[in-house]
Amino acid sequence: MNQAEADAAVTVTNLSAAYEHTEALSGIDWQVPRGHLAAIIGPNGGGKSTLLKSMVGMVVPQAGGIRLFGDTPKRARRRVAYLPQSEDVDWMFPISSLEVVMQGRTAHHRLWQRHSRSDRKHALEQLRRVGMEAYAHRPVGDLSGGQRQRVFIARALTQNAELLLMDEPGTGLDASAQHELLDLFEQLKSTGHTVVITTHDLNCLAEHFDLVLGLDKHVVVSGPPRAVLSGDVLTRLFSKHFPVITPEGEVTLHD
Amino acid sequence: MIEFVLEPFQFAFMSRALAGTAMIALLSAMIGTFVVLKGLAFIGDAIAHTSFSGLALAILVGMNLYVGALIFALVTAFGVTFLQRTAKMRSDTALAIMFTGAFSFGVILLSTMPNFAGDLSALLLGSVLGIRVQELYWIGGAVILTASILAVTWDHFVFVSFDPVGAEAAGLPVTRLQMLLLGLIATAIVVSIQAVGMILVVALLITPAATASLFTKRLVPMMMSAAGFGLVAVSVGLLMSYYLSAPPGATIVLAATLTFAAALAVSSARRRLLQFG
């Protein structure tokens, strides 16, 4: 491993990958230094989730590869927490916030190991850290979207993850919950954590994120959001998906 | 009143039936809670149907009934996992085609055995009053096995049930754990068929657990109360069977259904009271 890779939280090199035969990525190069907040944007089907899933080894690359802290995704697994999209989680399942947070320890356990008293203590501390200790014994399905995200972040912290990968964490949150989540990202950054999210919300990028990656099967744009995001770039990134008004006054979608 | 309740169980066949169905109630509570929470009722029904042809085949070749049924049940359980990954149509459609086909095969097998007509209804509706001590051992073994597997793998099982994608990312063997759950469902169904028969076996898995889910949003209390509701259903059902001379499988399931209906009424009345009270 070279030094640059070991210093970075994420290094993606010439990655090509496909997921369920729909989303495809080709020739992706990207690097996220430790302690940075990074956002992946792009149209639906542009490969945002595929890239994130590749980082935890759930999608196997067809070519190229990914290094996390200079290691393979599999070997770096314990240092990385993946927070799934809300729709992938069974919110009807009867489980308390504290029990969810303790799952952060399950990743470190053998199949037959049960949670210990110190796991529980550690989990409660992390719930306090995200301001959710009052909800420890509430069913997680009863919480609001923003509160659920906090519980999942507490789970990642309980795992002692240094890199948090979050698939669409802002989806379904109201404005104040989104701002609380962004504050929490800043807090994570100040403790040396690296956060990579996928998002549809372009408004908060410049203010809160160090890096942005615009993805539409290949890299359209990459760099600090203030430097690289312009109307021109966004039009290019989302061009297929923006409604356009023709001179005749008709609204159409680009192909 | 006490006389009314205790008298039937002075007969050995009735107390054996009670022991068997009580153990089945415990087994069903452990497994049924997951079946209800993860929406696996239809898969359970499919497993019950294919187990039937496993039983038929076992009778034909003269092998142990449980082993024959379990082989077919497990093939179905794992076939489902395969179907969900590879089928070009909805997996419930593919499953329905498969299990009705297997069931018909079982019926035809049985019809080739001319002496068997009498026992067909026993397979369909259960024959717990004729349960033998050796069968009680099989059921007890399944209870102990299931409880041990759940106890050992509990944290992982809960993680995978709640958040399969997060669990896979964390490196848990998600597919293997899901197949293990289906294997446990198959086992529970096969040992319960004796008591309530193929048609009603799914009710024993579903109804007590669904009743429990009306009252609690915590997993372990849900399992405990499912066991409680199950025990009530089998005891009341056996008494009904005794006094009404009706097939015990049907009376047990009816007792479970009535318990559910009563619980539903109580829980919605309680909710209304909490809202306006």
Q: What's the domain count of chain B? A: 1
Phi, psi of A20 (to 5 degrees): 50, 35
Q: Does residue B257 form part of some domain?
A: yes
CATH of the domain at A177: 3.40.50.300
Q: How many residues does chain B have?
A: 277
pLDDT value, residue B226 = 98
B-chain residues within 8 Å CB-CB of A111?
152-153, 156, 173
Tokens of A173: 């949150």
Q: How far is B276 from chain A (nearest CA, A)?
A: 21
Helix, strand, coil % in chain B, rounded to nearest 5 = 90, 0, 10
Q: Does residue B206 form part of some domain?
A: yes
d(CA A244, CA B123): 66
d(CA B277, CA B271): 10
Q: How remote is the C-alpha of B173 from its chain's centroid?
A: 25
| Cα separation values, A118 from A8, A67, A138, B220, Å | 31, 32, 21, 21
Instruction: Write out pLDDT tens, residues B73-94.
Output: 999 888 887 777 776 777 788 8
Averaged pLDDT for residues B47-65: 88
pLDDT value, residue B117 = 57
Is pLDDT larger for residue B184 or for residue A239? Answer: B184
Q: At B80, is the secondary structure helix, strand, or coil?
A: helix
Give, for B151, the enclosing helix (H) or strand (E).
helix B133-162
Measured between CA atoms, the residue of chain B closest to residue A92 is: B37
B-chain residues within 8 Å CB-CB of A58?
165, 168-169
Averaged pLDDT for residues B220-224: 96
Q: At A216, is the secondary structure helix, strand, or coil?
A: strand
- Rg of the Cα atoms in chain A: 19
A-chain residues within 8 Å CB-CB of B152?
111-112
Mark yes or no for CB contact B171/A107 under 8 Å. Answer: yes
A41 Rama sector, left if φ>0, alpha if ψ -120 to 50, beta otherwise: beta
Instruction: Write out pLDDT tens, residues B93-113.
Output: 888 888 899 899 988 888 887
CATH of the domain at B21: 1.10.3470.10
Q: Does residue B277 form part of some domain?
A: no
pLDDT band at A1 (very low <50, low <70, confident <90, very high): low
Measured between CA atoms, the residue of chain A closest to residue B214 is: A94
Tell whether B7 is within 8 A of chain A (Cβ): no
Which of A74, A92, A106 is the closest to B159 by Cβ? Answer: A106
Provide the strand spans (E) within chain A.
Answer: 8-19, 23-33, 37-41, 63-68, 80-83, 163-167, 194-198, 211-216, 218-223, 243-245, 251-253
B-chain residues within 8 Å CB-CB of A165?
169
Mark yes or no for CB contact B166/A77 under 8 Å. Answer: no
The bridge status of strand A194-198 relative to strand A211-216 is: unpaired
Mark yes or no for CB contact A96/B222 under 8 Å. Answer: no
Domain residues for the domain of B247 are 2-271
Q: Does residue B36 form part of some domain?
A: yes
pLDDT value, residue A255 = 43
Q: How far is B202 from chain A (nearest CA, A)?
A: 21
Q: What's the domain count of chain A? A: 1
Instruction: Write out pLDDT tens, residues A49-95.
Output: 999 999 998 888 888 999 999 999 999 988 999 999 999 999 999 99
Mark yes or no for CB contact B156/A111 under 8 Å. Answer: yes
Burial code (b: 16+ CB inside 10 Å, e: under 16) for B188-210 equals bbbbbbbbbbbbbbbbbbbbbbb
The answer on pLDDT for A240 being more than 70 is no
